[in-house]
Amino acid sequence: MSNKINRIVELAIDLDEWDDDELFDDLGVNTVSLVDEPAIGVDFMYFSQQEFIDPRPGEDQDTFLDRCMGDSKMVSEYPDQDQRFAVCNSYYENFDYKFQSYNDYPEAARNNARRALEWAEENGWGDCGTGVGKARANQLANGENISRDTIARMASFKRHEQHKDVPYSEGCGGLMWDAWGGSAGINWAISKLKEIEEMRDHYQFRLDDEQRICTGPLMIPNKMIIRVDHAGDPYYVYFSKKTIRKMAEKFLKVNNQHNTDIMHNKMVVTTNTLVESWITESRLHDKSYSYGFRVPEGTWMVSYKINDDDTWDKIKRRELKGFSLDGPFIQKINENASNEALLKKIKDILNNVDEE
């Protein structure tokens, strides 16, 4: 079991070096699943939402492992105890390696945190702050990546702004304000949190209430997805633009377009109707932009008319928010992504879709 990610796997539905397409007849998208979260994940080469249990602040490894091993979702997804232990243990050990984390807070926020730490090192913290606040100061001062939840806590610290001008030597207000990044850091956190939430919303359904149609991205090209294998080792998977286009064409060719289920429950129905399927040709000039989506070129977009009343009610109640895929794929391992520096470079390239 490794503590580092050293594998990138491209998923495909054929191999360019093979001319016999019949070998790959069974590969591709079988079903579109309506799910509660539109994040894309892979499990046993079938697309599904893989959920993890987050370590809580200050939770030690043994406590986390007990909670993770007994979690009903983890038991369902990993019924073998040894496998489940490997996954839980690996996730705890890799938790500080934030795959969706951020360090673009301003230099002024780092300087504020450093100033608070330097003063506390010389004079002590006294009764000021908690372990969380002190840890946050160290994270910011060191320029470390911080998670969305940490950013939310920074933003909520705005409620203490009225004490920000209290001198360090006269109370805790100014000291702890700077420990959390000061005005520069907290204002950044408020703005960043809004940006993150808006980006999340970009990948959810758009609804036409009158016609009962939901629209959204079904597959996004070069989107790095973190997975955990049977040994508990994390790795990345992604689909190329070329593969996505092939999948979209084959999906219609084999007449799977009306197969849908809910939360990958395998209870496939054909009552819901695919009314649109297209590959985006431009980020700004594609019709997906008019729906409010900011997706990269090569994204597979779909619109489904939901004829089933119960399913539509779940969508309206926001219990179902996006699309996911179900189907078998080939793994093409990128053997050149074996060192951390190159892996980071590849990850940056593949994730630049959010910056185009």
Per-residue model confidence as pLDDT tens digits over 132-166: 788 889 989 999 888 777 888 899 999 999 999 99
Per-residue model confidence as pLDDT tens digits over 74-100: 787 777 777 777 777 766 665 543 345
What percentage of the chain has pLDDT greater than the value 70?
71
| Confidence (pLDDT) at 312 | 87
| Confidence (pLDDT) at 45 | 26
Per-residue model confidence as pLDDT tens digits over 207-251: 666 688 888 888 888 887 777 777 777 777 788 898 899 889 988
Instruction: Tell me the whole-structure pTM to 2 decimals.
Output: 0.52
For 38, the token pair is: 């539109």
Among 73, 98, 74, which Cα is nearest to 86's? 74
Check residues 283 and 166 and name the one with the higher pLDDT: 166
CA distances, 76 to each of 67, 227, 233, 263 (Å): 14, 17, 19, 14
Please state the rounded mean pLDDT for residues 264-292. 84
Range of weakest confidence among 43-57, 63-77, 162-176, 214-228: 43-57
Range of weakest confidence among 94-103, 213-222, 281-290, 347-356: 347-356
SS (H, E, C) the chain: CCCCCCCEEEEECCCCCCCCHHHHCCCCCCEEEEECCCCCCEECCEECCCCCCCCCCCCCHHHHHHHHHHCHHHHHHCCCHHHHHHHHHHHHHHCCCCCCEECCCCHHHHHHHHHHHHHHHHHCCCCCCCHHHHHHHHHHHCCCCEEHHHHHHHHHHHHHHHHCCCCHHHCCHHHHHHHCCHHHHHHHHHHHHHHHHHHHHHCCCEEECCCCEEEEEEECCCCCEEEECCCCCEEEEECCHHHHHHHHHHHHHCCCCCCEEECCCCCCECCCEEEEEEECCCCCCCHHHHCCCCCCCCCEEEEEECCCHHHHHHHHCCCCCEEEEECCCEEEECCCCCCHHHHHHHHHHHCHHHCC
